[in-house]
A and B are shown apart, each in its own frame.
Chain A
Amino acid sequence: MKMIFGIAMFAILATAVFAAEDASTAQLTDPTGSLTGSALAEAKCRVDFVLAVLDAAAAEEIYAQHMATLTGDITHLEEYAQANDLRAFNGYRGSTYVDHMKDAWNAVREAKANRNQTAEEKETLRSEYNAALETYNTCNAGAIGGFATAKISRYEYVVSNYEEKIQQLKNKIDTTGLEALLANAKQEIIEPLKALVSSTSATPHGIREAVGSYCLMDGCQGGATTGVNFHLEEKYNIEKMGAVMQELQLKVNAANLGTDKGKNVRDNLALMAEHIDNAKNAVDSAGNLELTSEQKKAVMSYLEQASGLAKQIIAALGGSG
C-alpha cells in the first residue's frame, strides 16, 4: 500500500513538472488557425447581415439566389482556410466574395427602388434592419477583436522563431544587428498594434484600420499615409548575410590562403558585399510601403547570390568559416 502511495506521489510531482514545461512552451504554438478563423468569422458576419436585410426587403427568389451565392463563397473560404492556403483565401475574399457582397447590397438597393413602401412597411423594414444591424455589430466586433488578438499573437510567434534562430547563430556570427532588428520590429509594429487594439476607445472600425496599418512583413495597403510594412523577412536575411560576411572577412584575413585562392576569395567577398548592399537599397527604397513582388524577387535574388558566394568562401576556407 505504501509502495503504491509512493509511486502515486511521484506521479503527481512528475505531472506538475511536465505541466510547467508545457506552460513554458505554450506560447510557441502557431496561432495561424485562430487568425484565419477570425477572418472567416468576419466574412460570415457580413453575409448574415446582408441576407437578413434581403430576406426582409427583397422578393423570395432574389433572396434565395444571393443566399446560394454567398453561402457558396463562405464554403470556398472555409476550404481555403482549412487548407491553410492564405493566398487563395485572400484572392477569393478580395475579389469574388467582395463582388458578390456588392451584388447583394445592390439587390437591396433595387428592391427599395422598385417598391412603393407604405409608411407602415417602412417602419417594419426599419425595425428589421436595425435588429440585423445590431446583430452584425456584435458579430463583427467579436470577429475583428479576435482577428487583431490573433494577429498580434502570430507576430509574437514569428519573432520568437527568429529569436531561436539567432540563438543558434550566436556563437558563429555577431548577432547584435539581428537582435536590434527584432527589437525594432517589436517597437515599430507589435507594440503600436497592441496599444491601438487594447485601447479602451477602440472601435471595430478603428481596430480594422489598425490591423491594416501595421504589418511585420508586407500586406498593409494603407500606404505611406497609414500603413507600415516592416519587411522583417528581407531585413533579417540582409542583416544575417551581412554578419556572415563580416565573420568570413575575419576568417579570410586570418587564413593562410595561396595567392590565387586568396584573390578569388577576396573577390567573392567584395561581390558578396555588393549583393547585400543592393538588397538593402531595394528594401530601403520601399520604406514603409509594401514591397512589390518584383522588388521581393530582386531582393531575394541578391541574397541568394550572396549566400552562394558565402558557401564558396566557406568551401575555400576548408569547409568551415
Chain B
Amino acid sequence: MDKIYLFGMAVAAALLLLGCAGGNAETGAGTGTTSGTSLGTGDVGLDSGGVDELPPLTDEGVGTASADEVAGDASAGTAADALSASDLGLESGNYTEPDITQGEADMEPVEPF
C-alpha cells in the first residue's frame, strides 16, 4: 500500500481515538464510583420511577460513609444521602401519564336532526 495512503489512515485513526477518549471522559463522570462491590449509603436511596425524577436533595442526618461510597449510586438518580423522610415522603409517587379516559360519558355526541 502506498505510504502516503497509510499515513492518511493513521492520521484519521489518531483523530478518531482522540474523539472517543473525549466522549468517554464525559460519560465517565456519572458512573465512576458505582463499580465497587460494597454497599454504600448511596445505594439505599428510593427510586421515583425513572422519569419525572425529583431533584437531588440534601440529607444532613447520618454521614460517615467515605466519599466514594457516598457517591455510589449517583448515576441511578439517587444521590448519596439524598433522601430524607421530610423531603421525599409526599413527592415520591410522581410518575404521571396523560389520561384520555376521563369524561367519556359526559362527552357523548348528540345528533342534531
Contact = CB atoms under 8 A, between A and B. Distances in A.
Nearest to B112: A57
Nearest to B95: A217
Interface string B41-60: 10111111111000000000
Interface string A271-312: 000000000000000000001010011001101110110111
A108 B106 contact: no
Nearest to B48: A233
Interface in A199-256: 208, 211-212, 215-219, 221, 232-234, 236-237, 240-241, 244, 247-248, 251
A161 B85 contact: no
Given A90-B102, A232-B49, A312 B96 contact: no
What size tier do the contact residues of chain A reach? 35 or more
Nearest to A50: B109
B95 to A, nearest CB: 4
Interface string A126-154: 10010001001000000010010001001
Given A168-B73, A300-B93, A307 B102 contact: no
Given A42-B100, A90-B102, A5 B49 contact: no
Interface string A75-98: 000000100001101100110011
A234 B2 CA distance: 64
A11 to B, nearest CB: 7
B79 interface: no
A35 interface: yes
A147 B84 contact: no
Given A93-B103, A314-B39, 19 more contacts: A3-B8, A6-B7, A10-B12, A46-B107, A86-B96, A86-B97, A109-B110, A158-B51, A161-B50, A165-B47, A165-B77, A168-B73, A172-B37, A212-B100, A219-B99, A233-B48, A247-B39, A296-B92, A315-B63
Interface of A: 2-7, 9-11, 14, 30, 32, 35-36, 38-39, 42-43, 46, 49-50, 53, 56-57, 81, 86-87, 89-90, 93-94, 97-99, 101-102, 105-106, 108-109, 111-112, 117, 121-123, 125-126, 129, 133, 136, 144, 147, 151, 154, 157-158, 161-162, 164-165, 168-169, 171-173, 208, 211-212, 215-219, 221, 232-234, 236-237, 240-241, 244, 247-248, 251, 291, 293, 296-297, 300-301, 303-305, 307-308, 310-312, 314-315, 318-321
Interface of B: 2, 4-9, 11-13, 16, 34-41, 43-51, 61-66, 69, 73, 75-77, 81, 83-85, 88-90, 92-93, 95-104, 106-113
